[in-house]
Structure 1
């Protein structure tokens, strides 16, 4: 179909498809760390579980500028590869897909007139809402607005992408980014020296060398003294 014969709507749809295809071609596929593999496996066993959800919340005592907040969240997503990573599998083997760019999501909740207990209950519900590792964003941000300068922010992220320390660092960076954006300034955060994928590579190389063989041998020998735990399975246990 020639571009001259396309309607404006068809041209927009074609452009969107081309951009998506370009983004897919730039995606990076990588293995998981052993920690991530364990969490991915458990999530497949219990896809509705929220056991590995992490949450942090804090007062947000600023004038609320949603555009500035979205801009700050997007900067976080662009800065930390783990926040724009998806997790899927092929032939039973899990892997991660690091996207070059992924939109950060923000949900505003009108909490005017809400009691503290109602807000806490809603935050608890968000914490308990499971992630679909293959199809969902790996994190979500909510802003609860009670008044002009009375807000609460909550970040929920799956443990496969963050831990208890890094989620607080995310909140601290977001606070600094937002304050700068609110004043029309651009904050240059210190450049990151590594991403989590660097650890994944290091771990794989470490366990593949002689030191890794020593670690495997130690734990195999250590665990030999314990009886085999008979769990119900669909297949015969390998020898």
Structure 2
């Protein structure tokens, strides 16, 4: 090692720069970004600092919808509700954080992942109403659903509600809790949901593994 250092020290600046460039190229060629290993079922789950804060705030004011994250989409065209429900169920299966509830044990939060759970899209069919009244009624229903709090000690951290205005017009509400999801995660959810839904309606299935 000392001999190598002496040889490098004796190089001209140009040759040393060339050596450094070649070493950097070799590093770029062989370097791979680190991956986060999947947590095994036997491994304990831990809360992030942000989740600890959310849990603490929920203990201070339980039963509040303050930390609900709603997203409402207008869906135009034919909609396969069964495939949509299956796609959302697959998203929950893929992301443990959406299936985790948080219990208090001796004053400390203990996360527990639900391996079996029920998920159903809540459907409100407004086609029985005069067309002029449907939009206003849809807004009232959505606002009421958004205000429904999560019980983070037992609930699934994902809900979905669908308002049918006509056979080809729907409003889709997806509701998550901030302890499990944040606004920046929306792109991930909708990218996966779109791919899963398309896979189910086309019969191709899905290649999304559980994280």
Instruction: Tell me the TM-score normalised to structure 2 length.
Output: 0.71
RMSD across aligned C-alpha pairs, in angstroms? 2.1
In structure 1, stretches of 5+ residues that fail to align are 1-25, 196-239
| Alpha carbons 2:122, 2:161 under 8 Å: kept | yes
Secondary structure in structure 2 of the residue aligned to 1:76: helix
Q: State the partner residue of 2:21.
A: none
Q: Take 1:134 and 1:169, find their aligned partners in 2: how far apart are those partners?
A: 25
Q: State the partner residue of 2:174.
A: 155
Change in 2 beyond 3 A, CA 1:134/1:80: same
Offset of residue 66 of structure 1: 2.9
Q: 1:36 aligns with which of 39, 48, 51?
A: 51
1:57 matches 2:76 = no
User: 1:159-182, CA deviations, whole angstroms, 9 ceiling, x for partnerless residues?
Assistant: 000000213431332122112211
Query: In the comparison of the two structures, how many residue pairs are matched?
Result: 167
Q: State the partner residue of 1:70.
A: 85
Structure 1 outlier segments of 4+, above 4 Å: 26-29
Once the two structures are superposed, the pairs formed by residues 1-239 of structure 1 within 5 Å of their partners are 29-112=44-127, 113=129, 114-189=133-208
- Computing the radius of gyration over CA atoms, which structure comes out larger, 1 or 2? 2
| Alpha carbons 1:61, 1:150 under 8 Å: kept | yes
Instruction: Report 1 or 2 for greater relative contact order, CA contacts < 8 Å, sequence distance ≥ 6.
Output: 2
In structure 2, stretches of 5+ residues that fail to align are 1-40
| Alpha carbons 2:125, 2:164 under 8 Å: kept | yes
Secondary structure in structure 1 of the residue aligned to 2:47: coil
Offset of residue 143 of structure 1: 1.1
Q: Take 1:105 and 1:29, find their aligned partners in 2: how far apart are those partners?
A: 29
Q: State the partner residue of 1:199.
A: none
Offset of residue 65 of structure 1: 2.6
Change in 2 beyond 3 A, CA 1:62/1:177: farther
Secondary structure in structure 1 of the residue aligned to 2:188: helix
Change in 2 beyond 3 A, CA 1:64/1:27: farther
